[in-house]
Amino acid sequence: MIPLDRILVSGALLLSLQIAQATEGRTVFTQGGQNPAAMACIGCHGADGMGMAAAGFPRLAGLPAGYLSKQLADFRSGSRKNPIMEPLAKALSDSEIQSVSAALAAMPTPKTPVVRRQQMASSPDEKLALYGDWSRGIPGCVQCHGPGGLGVGEHFPPLVHQPASYLVAQLNAWRDGTRSNDTNQLMVGVAKALNDEEVKAVADYFANRIGQEGTQ
């Protein structure tokens, strides 16, 4: 049997570690990392972490911690390219990546309606989002990203409440190869099968239609 005092001590240690991590995560978010090149997230992603639509900066609040830390690691390795984020991710320590990812994941997000796959699609963009176009091997976005684009687990991030400009940029990054960090190349084939109009249409579908419904 482990003595009670030892359990208490290790419990307290764990708790203080968690508090330290949460503090570090908030600090990186609001003030940046130890290295001055690791700029604060808040500058581009907003005080609420919901991104900046006009500039195409994505929402980070409420994204899964595993997804966020993988993206930072991928900016370091170059499998996801971005002139701002690559040097920034390299300037963050491993511990800072873990703690800022956890802090971002814990941030509140607006309520999102759960849009079911139930009705037949009434427009081509709704058809792509809900059911895809299997004649070209394109699954419906929600089949992996969940009902209403809420996101599923740590591999399939939310699409809802992301700026349309960001979603368009990501789909195009897969098309031109500047983003190649998708698990089992699940996105690259889908993105390459879409044309310019469709990229814009599905991005608008999740950013505007569902996003606006969610803020009502």
Partner 1 sequence: MTRFMLTLLALGMGNAQAAQIVMEDQSQLKVLPASAAAAFSPPAESELPDNAFGKMVREGHALFVDTRRLMPNNVGNGLNCSNCHLDQGRMANSAPLWGAYPMYPAYRKKNDKVNTFAERIQGCFQFSMNGKPPAADSPEMTALSVYAYWLASKAPIGVEMPGRGYPDVPQPAQGYDFGRGEQVYKDQCAVCHGSHGEGQSVANDYVMPPLWGKDSYNWGAGMHRINTATSFIKHNMPLGKPGSLSDQQAWDVAAYINKHERPQDPRLIEGSIEKTRLKFHANDGVNLYGQKVEGVLIGQGTGK
Task: Return binding residues for heme c.
Answer: 41, 44-45, 85, 141, 144-145, 187
Residue from 4, 5, 118, 212 in contact with partner 1 (CB under 8 A): 118
Rounded Cα–Cα distance for residues 191 and 194 (Å): 5
- Binding track over 121-160 against partner 1, x by CB under 8 A: x-----x---xx-x--xxx--xxx-xx--xxxx-x-----
Structure tokens at 135: 């004649």
Told to check if 116 binds partner 1 by CB under 8 A, we report yes
DSSP string, 160-203: TTS-HHHHHHHHHHHHHTSB---GGGHHHHHHHHS-HHHHHHHH
- In this structure, the chain runs to a length of 216
Q: How far is the CB of 113 from partner 1 (least distance, A)?
A: 10
Kindly report the backbone phi and psi dihedral angles of residue 10, in degrees, each rounded to the nearest multiple of 5, phi listed first.
-70, -35
Closest CB to partner 1 among residues 118, 215: 118
Q: Which helix (H) or strand (E) holds 33?
A: none
Rounded Cα–Cα distance for residues 46 and 199 (Å): 25
Residues 174-203 that bind partner 1 (CB under 8 A): 183-186, 189-190
Residues 36-55 that bind partner 1 (CB under 8 A): none
Q: How far is the CB of 80 from partner 1 (least distance, A)?
A: 17
Contacting positions for partner 1 (CB under 8 A): 114, 116-121, 127, 131-132, 134, 137-139, 142-144, 146-147, 150-153, 155, 183-186, 189-190
